[in-house]
Chain A
Amino acid sequence: MAGHVDSAIRPDATDITKDAKKRYAAGVLKYRQMGYWVPDYQPAETDVICVFRITPQEGVDPVEAAAAVAGESSTATWTVVWTDRLTACDSYRAKAYRVEPVPSTPGQYFAWVAYDLVLFEEGSIANMTASLIGNVFSFKPLKAARLEDIRIPVAYVKTFKGPPTGLIVERERLDKYGRPLLGATTKPKLGLSGRNYGRVVYEGLKGGLDFTKDDENINSQPFMHWRDRFLYVMDAVNKASAATGEVKGHYLNITAATMEDMYERAEFAKELGSVIVMVDLVIGWTAIQSMANWCRKNDMLMHMHRAGHGTYTRQKNHGVSFRVIAKWLRLAGCDHLHTGTAVGKLEGDPMTVQGYYNVCRDAYTRQDLPRGLFFDQDWADLKKVMPVASGGIHAGQMHQLLDLFGDDVVLQFGGGTIGHPSGIQAGAVANRVALEVMVKARNEGKNILQDGPMILKEAAKSCTPLQQALDTWGEVTFNYASTDTSDFTPSPTASA
């Protein structure tokens, strides 16, 4: 694959990797002299492959930087060690095999690195991440590094249990088919007592939502103890279910300080008959896999709020792309995952966001550079994750949301439900009517992207709550340039 390398960054001719005596003499070698740069390497079907975006320090050769990434994310230390010779070290070394300048971004390079399957413990995201995003991200010769995408071989995928329930079985349990699900996050996020909190839940669900949601930082604070919240919320959920004849749910956030606390809260949610519990991404990979095991054992849906991800996913030059986080979360096991709205208040270029949705829902993800997907990914029949679109969206965007994301998504209108001028039930009605009328129109063959606003206006004639929602928020848009876009095509943020 040397043909991919710009002539200016071709490795020097000194190749001592074949001469064991020189290779293992005490001292310091360049990473590419140690066997971490193998330009003619053909990745095996069973290799994990990563593409990193690297920004070498001034004067650091990109190939050497790529080799260093391979080295520091696998076996290397800064100097030659003779103990390598006690091992089959050739197979333990990760191999950088391709380096390309990032299109129209001076100083940045994409580096492809392959890892032999032997490097990873089966079924452990903690182990995979400790290698791939461990020491290497603090490595001095790089100004910045970002893990852009990852190809996980089928052999490794099959060692993970994946989503506890999966979106297909979730729909069967909830008896809801052929349309996006509707949710809302209880607002204000903080300060409501358990009793007042349950009121919001009851009104929203009775009005037509499928789910309501705890916010990420609602755990057990002085204003509302977790048991109080669970008790009032489940009364609201059951009352709403009886009032509508539909299965309803509320994501009870069981995030807590310790696993023991989380298990205790999960058990109480189960005892009260909740269909779903929720955790925040900040609990960490091991806790996520443990909670997924608990959910599998207890027929519980697991909602994942990606709290904290923006600290390492948002800046293009450093961190981990959310598409990689989404892949790891599908393997680790969650049933719902917040993946962005494209049109709402939070970061997200539409094509990039669609890439995340593909990762959650595909049986086989195809390489799609404009959507940021560098690799084909065979999911080997692993269950699918239901993506969640939440944050600054409203009924007036229903045609865009349905067009962007299709049916298998939870659309969460928090402010867009609770802030309705005629109350929470009216807000829920507005959203549900907008949703159903748009699904119906799409199925009838109408061009909803073009005619969506008219379809909503027409439906609002016989639905006052929808009319009020459109009057209140119809013109609200969040048009800012996205920071995280694919470098392979210009893709501005969508506007209404």
Chain B
Amino acid sequence: MMTNPTGRLTQGQFSFLPDLTDTEIALQVAYGLRKGYAWSVEYTDDPHPRNTYWEMYGNPMFDLADPAGVLRELTGCRQAFPRHYIRLVAFDSTRGVESIAMSFIVQRPPREPGFQLSRQEVHNRTIRYTIGSYATQDPEGERYGEG
């Protein structure tokens, strides 16, 4: 159990709010589509803050008009990875941006064990810090219990 005030991983746009319902997720997706973003579904069982590349559940969905398409992919991802973290990521291809414009978590494992902070004491009083996910002490695919 993580000890921050939310008790869970706080990455993404909405981790301090109650989990978004599918209806609320669709509203966010629709906002992104109106802005011309391409949505992507990503999942992982290694939520380390520096783990940039979560697995892609298919390519980003370019040329999509209806949020239902994204929700369908999300449903597929949830069925395939029921105990992983899943996030929706929106890409903005505008010149001068060409990066991610939105990102929020839409599924979490039932238990979020959090991270260990290791300190290596070096010269003077300098300390080198390393953060490791407790979950990744188990092999890939076996990190959050059954399934």
Seen from chain A, the residues whose Cβ lies within 8 Å of a Cβ on chain B are: 168-169, 171-172, 175, 177-179, 206-208, 231, 234-235, 238-239, 241-247, 271-273, 363, 381, 384, 425-426, 428-429, 432-433, 436-437, 439-440, 443-445, 459, 462, 465
Contacts and interface: CB of A to CB of B under 8 A. Distances in A.
A241 B27 contact: no
A242 B5 contact: no
Contact of B116 (A206, A242, A247, A437): A242
Contacts of A440: 13-14, 17, 20, 24, 28
Contacts of A242: 114-117, 131
B147 interface: no
A231 B27 contact: no
B27 A443 contact: yes
Given A177-B103, A244-B10, A363-B96, A445 B2 contact: no
Interface in B2-46: 2-6, 9-11, 13-18, 20, 24, 27-28, 31
B101 A175 contact: no
A246 B114 CA distance: 11
A8 B104 CA distance: 63
- Listed residue (A245, A444, A445) with the most chain B CB atoms within 10 angstroms of its CB: A245
Contact of B5 (A178, A208, A239): A208
Contact of B126 (A172, A241, A272, A433): A272
B49 A247 contact: yes
B5 A207 contact: yes
Contacts of A207: 4-5
B20 to A, nearest CB: 8
A138 B117 CA distance: 58
A245 B17 contact: no
Among A206, A234, A433, A436, the one with the most B-chain Cβ atoms within 10 Å of its Cβ is A436
A206 B100 CA distance: 25
B4 A439 contact: no
Q: Is the interface of A mostly helix, strand, loop or mixed?
A: helix
B114 A243 contact: yes
B50 interface: yes
A178 B10 contact: no
A448 to B, nearest CB: 13
B127 interface: yes
Report, nearest first, the 4 A-B pairs whose CB atoms are least far apart: A178-B102, A242-B117, A443-B31, A238-B129
Nearest to B94: A363
30 contacts: A168-B96, A168-B99, A169-B99, A175-B103, A177-B101, A177-B103, A178-B104, A179-B13, A234-B129, A235-B129, A239-B117, A241-B49, A242-B115, A243-B115, A245-B48, A246-B9, A246-B10, A247-B50, A272-B126, A272-B127, A381-B95, A429-B5, A432-B16, A436-B16, A437-B17, A439-B13, A440-B14, A440-B20, A445-B31, A465-B5
Given A245-B47, A363-B96, A384-B96, A177 B126 contact: no
B5 A444 contact: no
A181 B53 CA distance: 22
A429 B107 CA distance: 21
A328 to B, nearest CB: 20
Interface string B82-125: 00000001100001111111111000000000111100000001
